């Protein structure tokens, strides 16, 4: 059985969401989002940097969220939530799947560091402002792409699990503006999905 090593308020939520959407059985090792758990020798034996998610599948271990999503789709659902490689929407699927970590999550990470993780005396308002502006620019093409669509490639796919999770977090950080009406509606649709609620509410 699949075993997911999980901490709340992390990218591990994507994997819970994926497994719930696919209705795959899995075990959960819940940890606190705190160095005492994540940086413990036990967890560092799973992930050398002490991060989550980590997925165990028999003698297979993976610890990169995008790789885990692709692995699960190919090994356990025969490409479910993923268009065929010869489908017209496949190039867009690939783009938005990888746009998440390439364009959206770097400024999100900086914003979280500068507003949550660092103590107030160590925060840098210049770095925070730059990250917020960069995130706004990264979100605009997503808003444009969602015009007339419920999901990134029309139907729900694993690209939404990757990028939709990041958009939801961006909205929680106050970086999705009222002018991004398509993206706001998309975040609402994501948040209403039962599998997403299970993932985001898991503590």
Q: Do 20 and 81 meet the contact criterion of CB atoms below 8 Å apart?
A: no
184 neighbors 171 (Cβ within 8 angstroms): yes
Are 72 and 138 part of one and the same domain? no
CB–CB of 184/176 below 8 Å?
yes
Q: What pLDDT does 79 receive?
A: 80
Residue 173 lies in a domain: yes
Same domain, 94 and 71: no
- The tally of CA atoms less than 13 A away on the side-chain side of residue 101 is 12
Domain range holding 150? 90-198
Task: Choose one of 44, 76, 108: the last residue of a domain.
Answer: 76
The structural domain count of the chain equals 2
126 with 45, same domain: the answer is no
> Would you state the pLDDT for residue 43?
98
What are the φ/ψ torsions at residue 147 (nearest 5 degrees)?
A: -60, 120
Q: Are 152 and 97 in contact (CB under 8 A)?
A: no
pLDDT at 23 exceeding the cut of 90: yes
Q: What is the mean pLDDT of residues 127-143?
A: 98
Tokens of 13: 């939520």
- Check: CB of residue 26 under 8 Å from CB of residue 100: no
Whether 172 is in a domain gets the answer yes
Residue 178 reports pLDDT greater than 80: yes
Average pLDDT, the chain: 97
What pLDDT is attached to residue 202? 87
Q: 70-114: per-residue pLDDT in tens?
A: 999 999 998 889 999 999 999 999 999 999 999 999 999 999 999
Instruction: Classify residue 98: in a domain, yes or no.
Output: yes
Handedness of CA 105, 110, 111, 117 (dihedral sign): positive
Contact criterion met (CB below 8 Å) for 10 and 52: yes
Give the model's confidence band at 183: pLDDT under 50 very low, under 70 low, under 90 confident, else very high: very high
Tell whether 71 and 157 lie within a shared domain. no
C-alpha 141, offset from chain centre: 18
- 111 lies in the same domain as 63: no
* Claim to verify: residue 112 and residue 182 sit in the same structural domain: yes
């Amino acid at each position: 059985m699949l075993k997911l090593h999980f901490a709340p308020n992390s990218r591990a939520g994507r994997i819970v969401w994926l497994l719930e959407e696919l209705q795959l059985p899995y075990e959960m090792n819940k940890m606190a989002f705190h160095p005492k758990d994540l940086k413990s020798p036990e967890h560092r034996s799973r992930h050398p940097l002490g991060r989550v998610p980590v997925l165990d599948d028999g003698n297979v271990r993976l610890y990169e969220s995008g790789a885990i999503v692709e692995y699960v789709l190919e090994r356990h659902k025969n490409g479910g939530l993923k268009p065929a490689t010869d489908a017209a929407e496949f190039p867009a699927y690939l783009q938005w799947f990888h746009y998440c970590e390439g364009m959206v999550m770097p400024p999100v990470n900086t914003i979280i560091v500068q507003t949550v993780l660092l103590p107030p005396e160590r925060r840098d308002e210049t770095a925070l402002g730059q990250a917020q502006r960069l995130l706004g620019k990264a979100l605009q093409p997503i808003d444009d792409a969602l015009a007339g669509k419920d999901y990134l490639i029309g139907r729900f796919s694993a690209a939404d699990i990757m990028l939709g999770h990041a958009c939801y977090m961006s909205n929680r950080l106050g970086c999705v503006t009222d002018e991004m009406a398509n993206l706001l509606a998309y975040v609402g649709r994501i948040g209403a999905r039962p599998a997403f609620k299970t993932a985001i509410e898991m503590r």
